């Protein structure tokens, strides 16, 4: 069983992909940059503000799929600048309290000039 997930409470995909896909009992979110769904623009502010928006977008997609932050087993996080690692972690820790497995890397550039992108894998029914 495979189905796509869509919610108007998270940004529209800016390319040929889905916000998330549910395959069996797994939810795979697409990477979420800090786009404010209501405006379609990048959240203003520093890494903390952008991390909040990116993670909230992930949360809305998880909710639409029938999951939540507590169901997340793996995240992948992309930072434009590894100097933002500590500030990013402070925001991340508020949401992912179950401490899922994680990769966090610095990248040269993210879409729309974002400072951060976050994706998640969750298990339904846990």
In the chain, where the domains are located: 2-123
| pLDDT reported for residue 1 | 81
Q: What is the pLDDT of residues 23-53, one digit of tens each?
A: 999 999 999 999 999 999 999 999 999 999 9
The catalytically annotated residue of 21, 26, 73, 104 is 104
Nearest Cα neighbor of 29 from 69, 58, 68 is 58
Instruction: Judge residue 2's burial from the number of C-beta atoms within 10 Å of its C-beta, 0-12 exposed, 13-18 middle, 19 or more buried.
Output: exposed
| pLDDT reported for residue 54 | 98
Q: Which positions ≥6 away from 16 have C-beta within 8 Å?
A: none
Over range 5-18, report the average pLDDT.
93
Q: How confident is the model at residue 15 (pLDDT cuts 50, 70, 90)?
A: confident
Q: How confident is the model at residue 126 (pLDDT cuts 50, 70, 90)?
A: low
Over range 113-124, report the average pLDDT.
98
The answer to whether residue 112 scores a pLDDT higher than 80 is yes
Distance CA 120, CA 73 (A): 8
77 as an active site residue: the answer is no
| C-beta separation of 18 from 2 below 8 A | no
Element at 63 (helix H, strand E): helix 47-65
Antiparallel, parallel or unpaired: β 20-23 and 72-79: unpaired
| pLDDT reported for residue 14 | 82
Question: Going by CATH, does the domain composed of 2-123 fall within 3.30.1330.40?
Answer: yes
């Amino acid at each position: 069983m495979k189905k796509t997930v869509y919610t108007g409470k998270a940004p529209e995909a800016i390319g040929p992909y889905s916000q998330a896909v549910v395959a069996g009992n797994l939810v795979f979110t697409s990477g979420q940059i800090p786009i404010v769904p209501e405006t379609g623009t990048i959240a203003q502010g520093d890494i903390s503000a952008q991390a909040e928006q990116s993670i909230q977008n992930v949360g809305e997609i998880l909710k639409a799929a029938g999951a939540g932050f507590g169901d997340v087993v793996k995240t992948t996080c992309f930072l434009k600048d590894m100097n933002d690692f500590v500030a990013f972690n402070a925001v991340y820790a508020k949401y992912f309290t179950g401490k899922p497995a994680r990769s966090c890397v610095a990248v040269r550039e993210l879409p729309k000039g974002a400072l951060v992108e976050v994706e998640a894998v969750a298990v339904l029914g846990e």
